[in-house]
Structure 1
């Protein structure tokens, strides 16, 4: 559940609750010349080039087809005649403004987290439309705290590229969402409340052989496989004190989570060898493996004194060599490498005229 409707409130509300933690030493910033491309900020040495894909609304979670020719993403852009997040399809070279791309979800309910299947002809995504064709309410604060809704009406579906649902993969009561597919093309990882907590599960592409792979209290979500399919990276809020545990359980009972303190965890694809990767404080989330499989690219506000900005960082899978990648003053998140490793799709508030729009960008990556 990488909700794009929370982006602006994330920037405003998330506070620096763990400033006592000593940040890892960052690589020395490298100045770059950006006169020829104002979308690249000084210090963003990993971006050889960059182009803006959308121009309006909240757009996020753009995921590549296995052949890198297309991307599927979610948007709530009102000019595209949607009231809340729906899924849209684009070709690699497309750019969108007021003219809407093809919608590949039903247009009903709220959707999240689409991902291509290996045949490049189908996608999976989570949707609430079976419970209600209208957009569900979106609570963003409770008792003065910033929250995410965890809709128990989410289930995971397979659809073709014309938007026709061809299969329902989950049928359990409760939240089933955040599905992503292994680059090996054999497994799906997703988050579910079927155990009573927000845990990670894997299943085959047809929904069979469901296995729980995490079992510690806390919100485990936003999971992705490594390029060889052997490991999984994810974000988690792991309450530890009695008060934290009490608050977490009370919120979850209402279908809510508080995402202001999350760290990254890594494990084998079967859940073994689970370990915490970051200990930075604040919100560390939207992780994705570098094409080498040896690094993680993720979004964080751990350096922020007022909860923002969010920037992208690289870190080795052993937790060493933290490096800042973007230098935004607002919000950069949802980084996703193309399968060939040449490009990075991500969402950003850059170049939005100082407004609230979050747009998609594709950068040509260089190590």
Structure 2
């Protein structure tokens, strides 16, 4: 009896080890590089999933590339609407752990970015107006998709513990979408202070504000080139009378329709402004390639129904358009690491058929 009992225990232990190995293999397969990418995606390799639920977007690298700051809406993290979180770039455990909250936890936030030294970040927030999440626009009867432009957004500087240490903007109306030059000397942001949504630059302390664009339309999502000399951004340009009337009417109600946008590039002072795409649809979330000679961006110009969005790359003169990702729903917010070796982006891939948008990191291969 005793030998049989020992044999049974050994068999049971072997079975447990085998089951654990099989379960581990299932998890590894689900989140492995091969299951997260498509054969055509030759420029992104060793892809890894960083977040596992909720809506996660706009992840930006610290200057030393060791951390990411990003916005997330996730009930399990206590974020009923977008809040800012920070994580190490090699943290692949966010399916079991919550990253550090670096915003106040109140209101709604957007567009965080590291400042030089990596001990502070900036981001826009509505928390001074109301500690609750601002209302989301109701679905329109005409079915058109709109974004809210909250007039309560202002831009703040915070330490990495969530303590506000400086308020950069305090004018009435929308101030948001701030990013920082890799040179560490300037900020670019979008503001409605002129009556329209234009780009502005300022020093890191908010002084020396200069208007960069001045044409009717929504200018936003701007980023500096790696050498700090140029800006890339997406913009709508209503031309026809009915387009202008609709744009102004929506804006008066704190809304924009981001379904017809193209990419523009200019010098950091606004000179030599050029449109570099004429693809139709929504072309947005542009970012400079490490060479500063190409732009990676998200676009649905190949879609007949609004989706999918995929990543594309184009030369700064508007030539040599090339598709980078091939997801069947949504890829956006591509951002290269400062050393140019990696890329982080948001995607609906591997979400089990839900609407969850997660962060992914990959090695970049030219």
Secondary structure class of the residue paired with 2:251: helix
Secondary structure class of the residue paired with 2:100: coil
Return 5+ residue gaps in structure 2 as ranges: 1-31
Q: How does 1:291-306 map to 2 (within 5 A)?
A: 291-306=290-305
- Partner of 1:89 in structure 2? 86
The alignment status of 1:185 with 2:184, answered yes or no, reads yes
Deviation at 1:141, TM superposition (A): 3.4
Asked if structure 2 preserves the Cα contact closer than 8 Å seen for 1:140 and 1:146, the reply is no
Rounded to whole Å, the distance in 1 between the matches of 2:244 and 2:123 is: 30
Whose helix proportion is higher, 1 or 2? Answer: 2
Deviation at 1:99, TM superposition (A): 2.2
The alignment status of 1:52 with 2:58, answered yes or no, reads no
Rounded to whole Å, the distance in 2 between the matches of 1:37 and 1:276 is: 37
Rounded to whole Å, the distance in 1 between the matches of 2:339 and 2:89 is: 13
Q: How does 1:308-323 map to 2 (within 5 A)?
A: 308-323=307-322
Secondary structure class of the residue paired with 1:84: strand
- Partner of 1:4 in structure 2? none
Secondary structure class of the residue paired with 1:344: strand
Deviation at 1:283, TM superposition (A): 0.3
Rounded to whole Å, the distance in 2 between the matches of 1:232 and 1:337 is: 15
Rounded to whole Å, the distance in 2 between the matches of 1:303 and 1:328 is: 12
Asked if structure 2 preserves the Cα contact closer than 8 Å seen for 1:140 and 1:149, the reply is no
Asked if structure 1 preserves the Cα contact closer than 8 Å seen for 2:33 and 2:46, the reply is no
Q: How does 1:1-367 map to 2 (within 5 A)?
A: 37-95=34-92, 96-139=94-137, 141-144=139-142, 145-367=144-366
Larger Rg belongs to: 2
Aligned length: 333
Rounded to whole Å, the distance in 2 between the matches of 1:287 and 1:167 is: 28
Asked if structure 2 preserves the Cα contact closer than 8 Å seen for 1:159 and 1:167, the reply is yes
TM-score normalized by the length of structure 2: 0.90
Q: Deviations over 1:118-141 (max 9, x none)?
A: 110000000000000000001153
Structure having greater relative contact order (Cα 8 Å, sep ≥ 6)? 1
Q: Deviations over 1:195-251 (max 9, x none)?
A: 000000000000000000000000000000000000000000110001000000011
Rounded to whole Å, the distance in 2 between the matches of 1:36 and 1:89 is: 23
Asked if structure 2 preserves the Cα contact closer than 8 Å seen for 1:313 and 1:324, the reply is yes
- Change over 3 Å in CA distance of 1:344–1:358 after alignment to 2: same
- Partner of 1:24 in structure 2? none
Rounded to whole Å, the distance in 1 between the matches of 2:244 and 2:149 is: 17
Rounded to whole Å, the distance in 2 between the matches of 1:129 and 1:38 is: 40
Q: RMSD in angstroms over aligned alpha carbons?
A: 0.9
- Partner of 1:3 in structure 2? none
- Partner of 2:21 in structure 1? none
Deviates more, 1:35-44 or 1:314-323: 35-44
Rounded to whole Å, the distance in 1 between the matches of 2:211 and 2:155 is: 16
Q: Deviations over 1:128-165 (max 9, x none)?
A: 00000000001153342210000000000000011110
TM-score normalized by the length of structure 1: 0.90
Q: Deviations over 1:234-272 (max 9, x none)?
A: 000110001000000011011100011000000000010
Q: Deviations over 1:291-332 (max 9, x none)?
A: 000000000000001111000000000000000000110100
Return 5+ residue gaps in structure 1 as ranges: 1-34
Rounded to whole Å, the distance in 1 between the matches of 2:174 and 2:51 is: 30
Deviation at 1:110, TM superposition (A): 0.1
Asked if structure 2 preserves the Cα contact closer than 8 Å seen for 1:140 and 1:148, the reply is no
Asked if structure 1 preserves the Cα contact closer than 8 Å seen for 2:33 and 2:47, the reply is no
Asked if structure 2 preserves the Cα contact closer than 8 Å seen for 1:261 and 1:283, the reply is yes
Q: Which runs of 4+ in 1 moved over 6 A?
A: none
